[in-house]
Structure formats: C-alpha cells, structure tokens
Structure 1
Amino acid sequence: MSVPDYQSLMQPLLRCAVRADRPVTILELQDVVAQDLGLDEAQLAERLRSGKQTVFHNRLHWAKQYMTRAGLLESTRRGQFQVTAAGRNLLAEDLPLINNRVLAKYPEFVGWLKSRGIGSEADTAVFALPAATADANATTPEERIEAARRELEASLKADLLDRVRAMPPSEFEGLIIDLLVRMGYGQGGEEMAQALGGSGDGGVDGVVHQDPLGLDRVYIQAKRYREGNSVGPDAINSFIGALNIKRANKGLFVTASSYTKQAREHAERSTTHVVLIDGDRLAELMLRHGVGVIVRHTIEIKTLDEGFFGD
C-alpha cells in the first residue's frame, strides 16, 4: 500500500479534526491519521524528490488547504485550524469518499478556483474530477506546468494572507514599510521609511521619503482587518483628512481584507491621490517582491534551439 493521494486523505483528516474538537495543526494530527490508515514507518518516511518534506505530510497539507477553501475547515491562528459546521455536516453524511468533486458543490471552493485563475467553468469541472479520472492528456505539458504553477501560487497567496491577518498591528505596519522599500520606494533605503503607528502622528501609520530631504513623501495607513471585515468609506475619509492636515498630495491605504464599493468611490473622488491595496493585491506584491517567501525550487525547462539547427 502506498501513501494515499491528497483527495483520499481529506475524509480521514476531517474525521480526526472533528475528534480533536479544538484548534490543531497538521503536525499534531499527522500520527493520528497515519494510525487510522494503518500506514507503516516506511510509508511515513517516503519523501518528495526534493527530499525536503515527506510525501504524507505534503499530501495532508493539500487536503487541509482544499477543505479550508471549501469552508469545511477554518484557520484560527498561526498554523492552526478547526472544523466548521459545514465540515461536521459533511462528515455526518458518511460519504464513501470526500474529494474535489464533493468540494465542487461548495460555492466558496469554486469561487476560489476561478478567482485565482485556476480555470474557467470548463477547467473547474475537469479540476473537480477525482485525480484518477482527470484527463491528463487534455492539455500540453507546458499548460500543465503553468496550471500547477498557478495553483501553487494561489495556495501560497492564501497562506500569506492567513499569516498576515494573524500579525499584531505593529508588525503589519512594519511589513508594509518593508514591502514598499523592497519595491524601490524611498530609493530602496530602509532609512527612508518609517512606521508611525501607535505614536499618535495624525492618523497615519507610516511614511516613505521619496528623496533625501523629505520634500516628497508618501503617507501610509495600514488596516490589518480579518477576512470579511471590509474597510468602509469612514476609514478612507479619515485618512484623506489626515493627509490634508499634513498637506500631503498622495497616500497609500493597505488592508489585508477588502474595501466596500463606497470606500473605493470615496478614494477615487478625492482630490488627494489615494491608492488602495486590498488583501489579494498585497499577497501578490509580497510574492512578486520576495517578502515573507523564499525560493524552494528552481526548475529549468529547456526548448529546442532553432538557431542551432538553422541553415
């Protein structure tokens, strides 16, 4: 018997999480799930080709990730998760198997796939098939590689936002400053940026000096907020008021959540240039500029050199 694929691990993982009846981590449940499935030491020791992670742990992680996106599990705090009411209800149905086809009946899961560019409706339908029946020949190798890259990137962005939302406010403000410096604002110098949150400095959380004399400044407001708690127009208006007091002509408002339609309209109508960055955009920028992430693998793909074989 080999290590079950990640879809086959969904139901055992969900069952063990229900039995725990408290926030848990993958590491805490790993041995319990393995014992329930009767996996031996050799199977548990099997590693990915990179050698950096066991196959079992990697597949448990993906089982947890997909069930979280379907709303069956929810993150509590850093690295921990627990079962939701939807997860308990699904387990009570006593299905023979929980897999991507089952998850596809949850709008949250389908919406997550589409919002992350993993597929159109047709692609999502194929993706929702059990792994053994998905038609691997429907796409070219290059397309499959790109689809895998998008999927890994989407999962990483979701993990980044989970961690960011668990940060204390002061650390979140520092993260935004670090990101802006990494992006080249303040001429890329750490001494050109400063977090101001908690100092009572007129309703702003940070400032980036675009030139050594501070003649051109970008003021920052950072609101961490949890998912589903959107920034409204009052917060935007307060920030615009703070910018006016400082006679600033530009500002950046960043949240790990989202903005209401009214909040975006107020920012667009303001005579002060205010840029809004929501959670999805924040995760994208962190990934692009290497903030909070490291390169685990670099894959080199070669193609035919037509010039070498030219006349």
Structure 2
Amino acid sequence: MSIPDFQSIMLPLMQLAINGKEHSFRDSVEYLAKFFNLSDDERKELLPSGQQPTFDNRVGWAKTHLIKAGLLESPRRAIFQITQRGEEVISHNPAEINTKFLKQFPEYVKFAGANTSADNSSVLSQDNLTEQITPEEALASAYQKLKLALAQDLLTLVKDCTPDFFERLVVKLLVKMGYGGSIQDAGKAIGRSGDEGIDGIIKEDRLGLDAIYIQAKKWEGTVGRPEIQKFVGALAGQGAKKGVFITTSSFSKEAQEYARNMKDTKIVLLDGEQLTQYMIDYNLGVSIISQYEVKKIDSDFFADE
C-alpha cells in the first residue's frame, strides 16, 4: 500500500496508546509501519527535502496534533502516553480521528488557528478537505512548483540568447559548480579548440589535474545519438576521456543510452531542463527574493538537562 497521510495515522496511534503505558516515538513508528504493512522502500522514502523519512514525519505530526487536542501527552522528551480525554474518545470507538474530529476540542482549535464562527465555516470546511500533508511536505511541494515555473521561464530566456552569450553562460555555470579554476581561465576555454565536435576545454579542478572537453550548443530539436558519436570521436582525436555535452533542448533515448554505456570515456549529457535547474541551484541568472528557515529542536542542547 502507499504511505498513509498523517490523519490516517491518528486512530492507529491512539489505539497503540490505549494500554496506558508510555511509548517512545521510535517504537510507535515501528509498530505503525507493521500496522500499515509498509515495504522497506516505503519506509526509506524521504521528504522532498531529503532530510527525513516521509512516514516518520507523518507519524510525528499525527502525534503532535493528538497532543495539541489533549488526547495524548508527553511526560518527557520523545515519550507519549494517552490522557483521560484520549481514553474517553477511544471508548466511543470512533470510526476515524482526523483534523475535523479534533476541532471539537478548544485547545486544538487554538493550535490550528481556526475559528468556529459562522464567518469562517467555509474556510474550516476547505481545510478539512485539503489538509492531507504535513507542513514540511506542503512547503516542499510549494517550493518545487515555484522552482519548476522559474526553470521554465529561465529556459525560454536561455533559448532566446545569442550563441556567444550561451557559451559564456556555460562557462560561468561550470565555474560556480567548482570547475575551470578562475573565471578568467575558464573564459579562455570556450571557443578555443576549433576541433569539430568540441567547443572548448576547461579544467576539471583549480589545479588543472585533468581536462573536460565541452560541446555547448543551442538546439531546437532533440539531440540524437549521431551527434554524441561525433563528440566522442572528437574526444578520441584529442586523447580525452571526459566530456560534457550541453544543449538547450533534450536528448533522445538512444543518445542517453549510448553515453551511459561508454566504458573508456565518461560523457555527461546536460539538457535544457537540467541546465536551468543547475542555474537556479547555483544562483546564476536568478536572484533571491525571500528565504525561509525550517528549524527543529536541538537535542544536544538539552542533553545535560
């Protein structure tokens, strides 16, 4: 089955706690993973941020919501147990426990920032329908949507730029990624070679221990295998073992397979979509308008409490 949303975890979590004993968060994660028959891959699936397993995150937020509603309590760090209110709730055998159910408790309404007045009834109803993901997931999802829209706009501008500007753009990006030494050294690389299929040579590191040969081309149609073969042939003529083919378009499946199966020569294909993603990641051609920091408790700070 797929990973359950955090609201679906609430009732099984309460049922685990009904014995009145103290439970650790880690034990509850293990119990619930078995309860939902999650596979190893589902257990390992990470949030978009890559910082925490998705299931663990959802269990944590289910616990938080139940604590805020007064159904669970946390007598000490990373430990929880059921409250008298929680026992009363479970004694009525609810079919489900979700955010809508929890809004009967004033403490939870305050936590959720909700208001039970008639003016806000439509807002509450909408929240009940859409609140299926945790705050971290919502933030990551919104970020990815903004990043995708930005990448699309950026690619349009890159495709409209001149070939010379595109080559300079490639140089600046490679330098920001740690290649080519200084921008002055790298700037001399593009357009220097003149060999068919090679647009330039750039240092792999600041010491120049190895060289990377570059093909940087604006392209409208899909780049096929023949173009990559020409590039590999040009590399062989130079005795080169590493090359990067950068384009504003995309590569055919055959081209990708050919590059991937090369044994003695390492070829990296960078299409327009990947190019703009790197530009965003390395702040090339874009500017930061706002930043948000997601913080968590520093357990080490409280270790000697």
Query: How high is the TM-score relative to the length of structure 1?
Result: 0.51
Question: Residue 232 in 1 paired to residue 218 in 2?
Answer: no
What is the distance in 1 between the residues matched to 2:224 and 2:252? 5
Would the aligned equivalents of 2:168 and 2:187 in 1 still touch at CA under 8 Å?
Answer: no
Give me the whole-angstrom Cα distance separating, in 2, the residues matched to 1:183 and 1:211: 10
Query: CA contact under 8 A between 1:218 and 1:250: conserved in structure 2?
Result: yes
Which of 153, 156, 160 aligns to 2:150? It is: 156
Query: C-alpha displacement at 1:297, in angstroms?
Result: 0.4
Question: Where does 1:71-220 land on structure 2 (aligned, <5 Å)?
Answer: 135-197=129-191, 200-210=194-204, 216-220=210-214
Q: 1:268 and 2:260 equivalent?
A: yes
Identity %: 40
Report the CA distance shift for 1:171/1:308 in structure 2 as closer, same or farther (over 3 A). same
Q: Secondary structure at the match of 1:291?
A: coil
Is the 2:181–2:208 Cα contact (8 Å) retained in structure 1? Answer: no
2:238 is aligned to 246
CA gap 1:304/1:221 in 2 versus in 1, 3 angstroms: same
Residues 246/296 of structure 1: CA separation in 2 closer, same or farther (3 Å cut) = same
1:136–1:278 CA distance, 2 compared to 1 (3 A):
same
Q: Which runs of 5+ in 1 are unaligned?
A: 1-116, 118-130
After superposition, where does 1:16-27 map in structure 2 within 5 Å? none
SS, match of residue 278 in structure 2: helix
Q: Which residue is equivalent to 1:293?
A: 286
Q: Describe the SS at the equivalent of 2:180.
A: helix
Q: Is the 8 A contact 2:179 2:202 kept in 1?
A: yes
Q: CA deviation at 1:212?
A: 7.0
SS at match of 1:138: coil
The C-alpha deviation readout for 1:207-255, integer Å capped at 9, x for no partner, is 11246785621110012223xx210111111111111121111111011
Aligned AA (1:185):
Y
TM-score by length of 2: 0.52
Tell me how far apart the structure 2 counterparts of residues 280 and 169 of structure 1 sit (CA, whole Å). 18
SS of match in other structure, 1:248: coil
Q: In structure 2, do the counterparts of structure 1 residues 172 and 306 end up closer, same or farther at CA, with 3 Å as the change threshold?
A: same
Q: Which residue of 2 aligns with 1:284?
A: 277
Backbone CA RMSD of aligned residues: 2.9
Q: Distance in 2 between matches of 1:285 and 1:306?
A: 34
- Cα deviation, 1:74-122, whole Å, max 9, x if unaligned, reads xxxxxxxxxxxxxxxxxxxxxxxxxxxxxxxxxxxxxxxxxxx8xxxxx
Distance 1:240 1:307 in 2: 53
Kindly tell me the number of residue pairs found equivalent between the two proteins. Answer: 180
1:177–1:206 CA contact under 8 A, matched in 2: no
Q: Which has the larger radius of gyration?
A: 2
Partner Cα distance (1:199, 1:251) in 2: 13
